[in-house]
Amino acid sequence: MAHWGMFEVESAGGDVSAVHPYAGDSEPSPILGNLPGSVRHRARVSGPAVRRGWLESGPGPSDKRGADQFVPVSWDELLDLLAHELRRVVDTHGNRAIFGGSYGWASAGRFHHAQSQIHRFLNMLGGYTRSVHSYSLGATGVIMPRVVGTHWKLFARSTNWDVIADHTDLMVCFGGVPLKNTAVNSGGTSAHPTRGALDRFRDRGGEVVSISPLRDDLHGRCEWIAPIPGTDVAIMLALAYVLASEGLHDKAFLSRYCVGYDRFEDYLLGRTDGVPKTPGWASALSGVPAEQIAALARRMAGGRTMVTVTWSLQRVRFGEQAPWMGVTLAAMLGQIGLPGGGFGHGYGSMNEPGLAPVPYPLPTLFQGANPVPDFIPVAAISDLLLHPGEEFDYDGRRLTYPDIRLVHWAGGNPFHHHQDLARLRRALARPDTIVVHEPYWTPMARHADIVVPSTTSLERDDLACTRNDPLLVAMHRAVPRYADARDDYDTFAALAHRLGFGARFTEGRTAHQWIEHLYEQWRGFVLTDPAHLEAPPFGEFWRRGHVRMRTEDGLSLFSEFRDDPERNPLTTPSGRIEIFSADIDGFGYDDCAGHPRWYEPDEWLGGERAQRFPLHLIANQPKTRLHGQLDHGAVSQASKIRGREPIRIHPSDAAARGLGAGEVVRVFNDRGACLAGVVLDDQVRAGVVQLATGAWYDPLDPSDPDSMCVHGNPNVLTADVGASWLSHGCSGQHALVQVERFDGVLPPIKAFDPPL
């Protein structure tokens, strides 16, 4: 099992030679094609390594990270050096001086989950400064609990695809429903139902409106509305204006199930600021005809309507506003909680929304408690390292960035997720020591002082499951460990013994004994459910390869709340949907008010900055890999143009610059530049270019943080600015750029070559 599907492998010579998707998956992910040849690829970290400058001069800030040589060391040497450095930092600066970084996508396994392993270890060490939320959902993770009282239920207990296919008349999809993203789910997936559900929905007569600058953000027949990027909230407000001004809104629903609509309506109709949010007002901002907006609002009020907002819409400046406004628009229609109506967040963002959940806790490695209270929003890592001791606002609180001396990273590659890579590189020069556990020489590994060679999930046993898939899978090791790589569990166990808490960390169990222990804990939960399907003893499960769990089918989001809001209140201060939040209003933030509203983006085609950089770059998720994982794989490599990441551009924009398909271009702004290969595509709105994230960062001059990336990583172009003071969410989806032909000698791609 991997994040992108269940499969069996053939192996030869210590590597994967072929992959066979699970027969029960009607649409297996093509990303599985990146696996063959991945275990013994030249990009693997073959053994323990220490950066030469750190080894010779000792811990301390260094601008050599990312450009220095590495020295091979033995496992005993590495463990001794690392244990000594951890003890030095704790004894001298305290546990808050350690930042425990991890991003959770390293393995689908429940035990060898890098995030769980490192957090368990650091908690037993005495704690660490942590991060909260995610790059994918940084804004939503803060705003939605305040608006509807939950975050995880929006995905894990969302309205099922079968319910939408059977009951919805109209889907209005802000950001579309991108099928490419439904290839993956954190923890694994055994089925990919989105395409089939949309086909059944349309066959029944359902209609889909996709509001996105990219036509392929929705599969199949739809009405495509292509706005100027960043203006979705303006369009939503205009739709709401039509509902309110024509009496099409459900006043009874707003009165019983919501609070603060009157405050919002004053803004909507222009009573508070003198600007009615009419379709004409929104048309001037978005480029969408006013009559098209008005007609859509009336269609939405005329039948069972589902309003969906993708995660991409909140990965921008003021990212809280789109999901908040989406809920408000759905509330005005009065269909929240009804089968096929209401609101959805994340359909097409991952293979979780729309899938039925399992009713049991999943097998989980206990991580213990972190006694250190300090934390940061996950997208604030550069701020953390560059501004120790500085205060910052977050979700109504005033916090302080600790002085980080050691970064201990296991799982994930921030050079894929984070913005403004030149700034990130300068930030990574600040700590005394950076430790990275990695199977591959990713950009993060290259910026480490101590590199710990980790196994991949193909080289170890594990369990795999997720909260919205019916299968619990036995992940049998497919190939031997590569070279001198070790499981992170073995590494942390050895470190824990050196630091005096080895027995507590291991509890006397080997990795395989832990897997059996976690399974039996899960089995105990299942056996208490009188409707459980099967829960064989571990030995039988391990031989069979998987067991099927019961799922909760036919869910409609917030149906219990709609049935009885007094008995089933939301966990908001009012117990209802907070269209106006008195708490947020009281924070006094000038970039997030007490109700959803339009804020002019910092970077958009309607602003002054577009005079210098006239193309709007959408840096979205790739379709040929998961984030930056296995960028060297066959499927990912097949998409490259002359070795560079492809950039899609409208033919008219290409013609204006004298560009042809297959040419290499320089994409640039005042933050940085990268090379990319041209793909002409009239399914991209004119004035927009699309360059996916995930190409491994490959600077022309590794010693210069401002050097051009020759491989096509768009995060050299994005601004490292939080969504707002409320959330500090990632805003890396959009950036303004210019594009020109690259006429120089093409530099070689070195991203997958091990460092010296």
Residues marked as catalytic:
103, 105
Element (H, E) at 392: strand 391-394
Q: Which residues contact 666 (CB under 8 A, 6 or more apart)?
A: 673, 674, 675, 708, 739, 740, 741, 742
Helix (H, G, I), strand (E, B) or coil at 407: strand
- 148 vs 95: CA distance, rounded Å: 35
Helix (H, G, I), strand (E, B) or coil at 65: coil
Contact 214, 618 (CB under 8 A): yes
- 713 vs 700: CA distance, rounded Å: 12
Residue type, 337: G
The closest of 579, 2, 495 to 267, measured between CA atoms, is 579
The closest of 129, 119, 131 to 372, measured between CA atoms, is 129
The closest of 31, 123, 698, 708 to 415, measured between CA atoms, is 698
- 717 vs 733: CA distance, rounded Å: 11
Hunting for tokens 């933030």 — which residue is that? 589
The closest of 534, 546, 535 to 462, measured between CA atoms, is 546
Contact 461, 515 (CB under 8 A): yes
Q: Is the dihedral of CA 512, 517, 523, 525 positive or negative?
A: negative
- 62 vs 15: CA distance, rounded Å: 37
Query: DSSP assignment, residue 753?
Result: S
What b/e string do you get for 682-715 counting C-beta neighbours within 10 Å, with b at 16 or more? Answer: eebbebbbbbbbbbbbbbeebeebebbbbbbbbb
